[in-house]
Structure 1
Amino acid sequence: MPARVGHQLGRLRRPVANAPNCPGIWSSKPSLAKRSLSTAGSYKTPKPFNEPNLHYAPCSPERGKLIAALQELRPKLPVRVPSIRNGEEIATQSSEADAETYMPSEISSAFARYTPVTESDVSAAIEHALEAKKTWQDTPFVDRAAIFLRAAELATKKYRFELTAATMLGQGKNAWQAEIDAAAELADFYRFNVSYAEEIYSRQPTLNAPGQAGRTDWRPLEGFVYAISPFNFTAIGGNLISGPALLGNVVLWKPSPSNIYASYLVYKILREAGLPANVVQFIGGDAELVTKVALAHPELSAINFTGSSDVFRSLYGSVADGVREKKYRDFPRLVAETSGKNFHLIHHSADISNAVKHTIRASFEYAGQKCSACSRIYIPQSRAEEFFSKIKQELSHVKVGPPEDFENFTGPVIHQGAFDKISRVIDAANKDERLELVVGGKHDSSKGLYIEPTIYSAKNPDHPLFDQELFGPVLVAYVYPDTEFDSVLTKVDQQGGGFALTGAIFATDTAAIRMAEDRLRYAAGNFYTNCKTTGAVIGQQSFGGARGSGTNDKAGSANMLMRFTAPRTLKEEYNTLDDVLYPSNA
């Protein structure tokens, strides 16, 4: 690593055996005071690794701990999410202005309560963040990295079961899904982002002319980053803020109301890990109000967004208007991962049993509420009867119900609006002569917001369901003649509502696999062979798509972090210029 990077990394502190909460991680919290780097040398941050998933099998220690965490959380409902002003938690009294969220598995029970911010609150948060920026960006990288490495330890140890329980009750995930998200993936983002940031800082010029040298100053953006995170992954909020902050940026964070409590726990962990006050501003409130203030500020430098394509298009348009009006000092960076209408393509050579199991997980885990979920499938005629028979058989073992019952595979959809949208489509589809109901087709909101895993077989490949994103447990299938595999590739590419996030082919015929990879090159940013469309693992598969599915900056990679840097090139000459004229002027 070049000496310049050694300077940026600063010096590693000596590990302290009794460091609280996270053995082996550097001790003490960094202060806001400017640090003096008294040692020279190049340093490496710890090698990242994927946090092992706990399985929560019957009678396992982790299941007992999670049940205890659920039992501890239940009596506290609705949990009060504090307002945070100038880095301090403000205990506010309940009022008519408060907002509430409800448990999707139990709609009669309020889960969280918070006081929405006002426009002046948002403006103040931005100003406090910008005031903190100078000291934060001057903090040596090794100290910034230590905060997120400590946070990974806190998330997977002290707070693991509290985070998982909050994600289960607040967002309706079962234990397995909540564990992968709120504990393992959150820690993975923190650890791998540190490694990716170090990789970026190590990128320095390798060629210098005699008597001169060059270097790159990897500056953070000059203003603030506005991060908007969705309901469906606790870890996504942690990533949207950690990447920019790790590189010295300050962040205004607006989480979804439907996971505001789990997001607050993420914020709490970062503060406990040593993140200085005001570097990340945690904002709960009306999305339009917060966005209005953020996008009106001249120091908006970037938006880091995960959510629907329609919302991102609106943000994109508003920022474009601001750019045209010369509202901003910078051209704001726009980073987004949005919607998908993802596909499984079955070839006649496929292992149908394997394809069926992967399809059930991809389509119906977490009630289909993943941007990567499979929602359209293409099946060869020669294997269709086998496929449908096996998927009915496998689905007969899939239970739908509240996440606290560990036997349930599919949980509720997130809120009443989502339930109403999906149930209206199901009711219409049940009467649609162009569709044949294969399984499911029922829904019930008497206690929780439950929709059965549902599959329709379309008689025509041009049915609107192949283009409509539902974000729920509904899969539409088309059975194609085996001889038309070539043309069905074209159909797969053209359909999907203009999205291009994830896709998969199931086949053992290598020629078919390579043909699909080539013809569907732009149909999915993440393409899988004999594997479901969900479940990208940080450090193994970076994630993101293009077309209407986002800016394809690839979460879980250095590429995404690069968007939050403003590199400066420096050159120094050690000799003097002998003459103004060129030799050719003689």
Structure 2
Amino acid sequence: MVTDHAIRPTTTTTRGPALPASLTPALLTRLTARVSAAADAERVTTNSPYTGVPLADIPVSTPADVEDAHTRARAAQKTWAATPIEKRKRILLRFHDLVLARQDEALDLMQAENGKTRRDAFLEVTDIAITARYYARKAARYLNPKRRRGAIPLLTHTTELRHPKGVVTVISPWNYPLSMAAGDAIPALMAGNAVVQKPDTQTALTALWALDLMREAGLPDGVWQMVVGRGTSLGPTLMDNADYMMFTGSTASGRKIARDAGERLIGASLELGGKNPMIVLDDADIEKAAEGAVAACFPSAGQLCVSVERLYVAESVHDAFVAAFVARTEKLKLGAAYDYGVDVGSLTTPSQLKTVTEHVDDAVAKGATVLAGGRARPDLGPLFYEPTILTDVTSDMTLYDHETFGPVVSVHSFRDVEEAIERANATPYGLNASVWSRNGARGRAVAARVHAGTVNVNEAFAAAWGSIDAPMGGMGDSGLGRRHGVDGILKYTETQTVAHQRLQGFTPPARVSPETWATVLTGALKVLKATGVR
């Protein structure tokens, strides 16, 4: 097992590919024109992570632009809410088809803005197609009026109605620019809301591409709008005008949004940070678990909220697992290419590279051992960092319990299942986890004891994330609220109960004394209980 991280170059591709031909000036101009900003707005230049060269010149919105966007959204939302669900469904299904038909454009944009590999970008395309199809076909079932049991059987007609919140604010991050932008807007739109969204500036083009396709699919003007700018500048105005907040980002920012939403008495759904564990039990298939660990730790260069940063391996299989994991990691192809030829791409921002480097350097300085990777690769591009495996990580090291959000994982051994669960749960976070065992029932039993909103057995994260009919979200410092499933659309609605009382209610009829009426109702309640009525 190699421990000198200075002598392990990773297989590479050539540095600095040119931008794909699909990213024409005409396309970029059309997309940036979708930003809700004044014609003479200041502009900001984004750079491609692969090369550091300028990518796009994007207009910057002001708080006044945010106000204007909400004014237009409120006007458009009234008509949109009155649009039959069947018509909304047809728009989403056309959007589904357009995303798949024009996926190469989206893949090129995501790679150019984010630096991820094409295979990682393709997962976002499939995710959005699945999300659009799911909510298009399930929304009527979730949103249509529902009869509820009335107070008095046969005499009380009770109906539950679902109304859209109004204007939903979506603040989406740079790491999964299509999934996090369109994925949260789709159910909000399908529920009859308008959306005003602030994507991260670095990956705004991908979000604007989704908006452009949704308009092409038939979404009316003003129903979905995007503003671009710093959260410190636009955040207060976004909050002041929102009827609901959907945020994906850091725990620190999420806490502030939750406080502000509480002051305004509006709802909020927050997916925040994570320090996700993977547990390899003593009966796990070692080769499959090692392959699963690669898939858990290094997609999108580790810049994934649900990726694994802590590995706990049973002592009896620890050495065999680590050897297999290191071997697979060292074979990963790190590089920049607008095709499916590489395994791990670039980090997205200089600040992320700085965090990853500082976390690894701090750990090594305090005694951690590098088993694979452990260094930046400026020979490939300005923001590349090798997939890194560390052992001998202790609690005095920053990355022990702080989210790194990069291609870095620490490996630990455990004696028994109780220790594994205790150590996996020894964090304020609780977003995602992974458990590996040949015995499915045993794996599921361990999974149920892990403090995380989603837990995958013999999979990294895709099984739970891809089960879109089930809720996804975090516990503890990883957030509140859920996306996906029925929760993912009903959170964007207000519940209303309409109860129509017929013939006789709870007040006594004429000429019946209150005492007599109380006796009658008492007898009725006893009969209902005896006959099994709920």
Q: For the superposition of Structure 1 and Structure 2, which TM-score range results when normalised by the shorter chain? A: 0.7 to 0.9
Q: After superposing the two structures, state which structure 1 stretch, 300-309 or 541-550, moved more.
A: 541-550
Q: Is the 8 A contact 1:79 1:111 kept in 2?
A: no
* Corresponding residue for residue 342 of structure 2: 408
Q: Is the 8 A contact 1:116 1:284 kept in 2?
A: yes
Q: How far apart, in 2, do the equivalents of 1:134 and 1:282 lie?
A: 19
| Cα-Cα RMSD | 2.6
| SS of residue paired to 2:22 | helix
| SS of residue paired to 1:449 | coil
Cα displacement (A) at 1:205: 1.6
Cα displacement (A) at 1:397: 1.8
AA paired with 1:106? Answer: T
Q: How far apart, in 2, do the equivalents of 1:288 and 1:544 lie?
A: 25
| Structure 1 residues 154-553: aligned runs within 5 Å | 154-157=98-101, 159-181=102-124, 183-202=125-144, 204-208=146-150, 209-221=153-165, 223-233=166-176, 234-297=178-241, 300-320=242-262, 323=263, 328=264, 331-404=265-338, 406-433=340-367, 435-445=368-378, 447-458=381-392, 460=394, 463-480=397-414, 482=415, 484-495=416-427, 498-509=428-439, 512-513=442-443, 515-520=445-450, 523-534=451-462, 536-539=465-468, 541-553=470-482
1:104 aligns with 2:33: no
Q: How far apart, in 2, do the equivalents of 1:155 and 1:219 lie?
A: 29
Cα displacement (A) at 1:532: 1.4
Change (3 A) 1:192 1:343: same
Change (3 A) 1:572 1:424: same
Instruction: Deviation per CA, 1:278-328: give whole Å up to 9, x if none.
Output: 11121112222221112233xx321011112121112112333xx2xxxx4
1:558 aligns with 2:492: no
Q: Is the 8 A contact 2:280 2:435 kept in 1?
A: yes
Cα displacement (A) at 1:573: 4.3
1:149 aligns with 2:93: yes
Q: How far apart, in 2, do the equivalents of 1:534 and 1:175 lie?
A: 17
| Structure 1 residues 69-80: aligned runs within 5 Å | 70-73=20-23
| SS of residue paired to 1:486 | helix
AA paired with 1:170? Answer: E
Cα displacement (A) at 1:382: 2.3
| SS of residue paired to 2:220 | coil
Instruction: Deviation per CA, 1:528-558: give whole Å up to 9, x if none.
Output: 11211345214365422211111141x2211
AA paired with 1:238? Answer: A
| SS of residue paired to 1:184 | helix
Change (3 A) 1:122 1:583: same
AA paired with 1:110? Answer: P
Q: How far apart, in 1, do the equivalents of 2:439 and 2:103 lie?
A: 43
Structure 1: 5+ residue runs without aligned partners?
1-66
Q: Is the 8 A contact 1:80 1:113 kept in 2?
A: no
Q: After superposing the two structures, state which structure 1 stretch, 561-570 or 212-221, moved more.
A: 212-221
Q: How far apart, in 1, do the equivalents of 2:512 and 2:146 lie?
A: 30
Cα displacement (A) at 1:149: 1.4
AA paired with 1:410? Answer: V
| Structure 1 residues 70-149: aligned runs within 5 Å | 70-73=20-23, 81-84=31-34, 92=39, 97-107=42-52, 109-149=53-93
Count of matched residue pairs? 493
Q: How far apart, in 1, do the equivalents of 2:222 and 2:353 lie?
A: 37
AA paired with 2:468? Answer: G
Cα displacement (A) at 1:211: 4.9
Change (3 A) 1:510 1:274: closer
Q: How far apart, in 1, do the equivalents of 2:375 and 2:19 lie?
A: 32
Q: TM-score normalised to the size of structure 1?
A: 0.78
Change (3 A) 1:405 1:176: closer
| Structure 1 residues 15-34: aligned runs within 5 Å | none
Q: After superposing the two structures, state which structure 1 stretch, 396-405 or 348-357, moved more.
A: 396-405
Change (3 A) 1:216 1:78: closer
Q: Is the 8 A contact 2:421 2:446 kept in 1?
A: yes
Cα displacement (A) at 1:430: 2.5
Q: How far apart, in 2, do the equivalents of 1:202 and 1:391 lie?
A: 50
Change (3 A) 1:403 1:548: farther
Change (3 A) 1:515 1:264: closer
Cα displacement (A) at 1:69: 9.8
Cα displacement (A) at 1:175: 1.7
AA paired with 1:235? Answer: S
Cα displacement (A) at 1:213: 2.4
Q: How far apart, in 1, do the equivalents of 2:413 and 2:214 lie?
A: 50
Change (3 A) 1:69 1:266: farther
Instruction: Deviation per CA, 1:423-477: give whole Å up to 9, x if none.
Output: 12222223222x1111111103463310000011025467542311011000011
User: When you count helix as a share of all residues, which structure comes out higher?
Assistant: 2
Cα displacement (A) at 1:165: 1.3
Change (3 A) 1:356 1:576: closer
| SS of residue paired to 1:213 | strand
Q: TM-score normalised to the size of structure 2?
A: 0.86
| SS of residue paired to 1:99 | strand
Cα displacement (A) at 1:179: 1.3
Q: How far apart, in 1, do the equivalents of 2:321 and 2:24 lie?
A: 42
Q: How far apart, in 1, do the equivalents of 2:189 and 2:254 lie?
A: 22
AA paired with 2:220? Answer: P
Q: Is the 8 A contact 2:268 2:481 kept in 1?
A: no
Q: How far apart, in 2, do the equivalents of 1:100 and 1:150 lie?
A: 32
Instruction: Deviation per CA, 1:202-259: give whole Å up to 9, x if none.
Output: 46125453355232221111x4211111112212211221211211111111111121
Q: How far apart, in 1, do the equivalents of 2:143 and 2:445 lie?
A: 39
* Corresponding residue for residue 529 of structure 2: none
Structure 2: 5+ residue runs without aligned partners?
1-16, 517-534
* Corresponding residue for residue 11 of structure 1: none
Q: How far apart, in 2, do the equivalents of 1:369 and 1:101 lie?
A: 19
Cα displacement (A) at 1:399: 0.9
Q: How far apart, in 2, do the equivalents of 1:373 and 1:580 lie?
A: 68
Q: Is the 8 A contact 1:188 1:538 kept in 2?
A: no
Change (3 A) 1:530 1:494: same
